[in-house]
Amino acid sequence: MPADAPRTRSHRMPFLSHSAHAVYGTIVATAVLAGTDAAIEDWDSGEFLATVITTLVVLWLAQIYAYALGDISGGRLRERIGDAASEHWPVLEPIIPLGLPLMLGTLGVLTEATAVLATLSVAVVALAVWGGLAARQRGGSLHWAIGAGVLSALVGVVIIVLKTWH
């Protein structure tokens, strides 16, 4: 948000309100998961799930801190922190779709390898959806949204390939 843009105070945390933040969170979680998968073969789905959740929560808190610290335009610190928490909430949204296959792995419904592979696949699909939504939220046409979705998904694929083969 530009420094001179008016801020509105909102205590809501709307689902899919800032899809660009969800794209960012998914990219970070995918990189961590793909890198961890390649390096640590004996982890179980619960450890992968804990890693994804911890990574995104720490990322969200870091964004709140950086936003509140960097926004010296006025207002009380508590309001800046509240605004930042609300605006950056979508960074946590990937926990749900990425966490579902890992939870199924933890419960024994999926094997460990299948759960991790399913999570990485879900991440690519989530990137496509959130990339398209982000483009539409910024006034992009349907064609632009499809292109943004495809590009976002390709970023996920590239991360997975590079992390896995590295």
- Could you tell me the residue range of the domain that residue 23 belongs to? 19-165
The H-or-E segment that residue 25 falls in is helix 19-39
Asked whether residue 10 carries a pLDDT value surpassing 50, the answer given is no
Q: What percentage of the chain has pLDDT greater than the value 90?
A: 36
Token pair belonging to 112: 């460990």
Distance CA 57, CA 25 (A): 10
**pLDDT given for residue 46 in this prediction:** 87
Give burial (CB, 10 Å; 0-12/13-18/19+) of 147.
middle
Q: Mind listing the pLDDT tens digit for each residue in 15-55?
A: 445 677 888 888 888 888 887 755 556 778 888 899 899 99
Give burial (CB, 10 Å; 0-12/13-18/19+) of 96.
exposed
Residue 7 lies in a domain: no
**pLDDT given for residue 41 in this prediction:** 63
The domain total for the chain is: 1
Predicted TM-score (pTM) of the model is 0.77
**pLDDT given for residue 60 in this prediction:** 93
**pLDDT given for residue 72 in this prediction:** 67
Residue 119 lies in a domain: yes
Residue 1 lies in a domain: no
Residue 95 lies in a domain: yes
Q: Mind listing the pLDDT tens digit for each residue in 92-133?
A: 999 999 999 999 999 999 988 899 889 999 999 999 999 998
Residue 8 lies in a domain: no
Q: What percentage of the chain has pLDDT greater than the value 70?
A: 82
Give burial (CB, 10 Å; 0-12/13-18/19+) of 105.
buried
Distance CA 46, CA 104 (A): 9
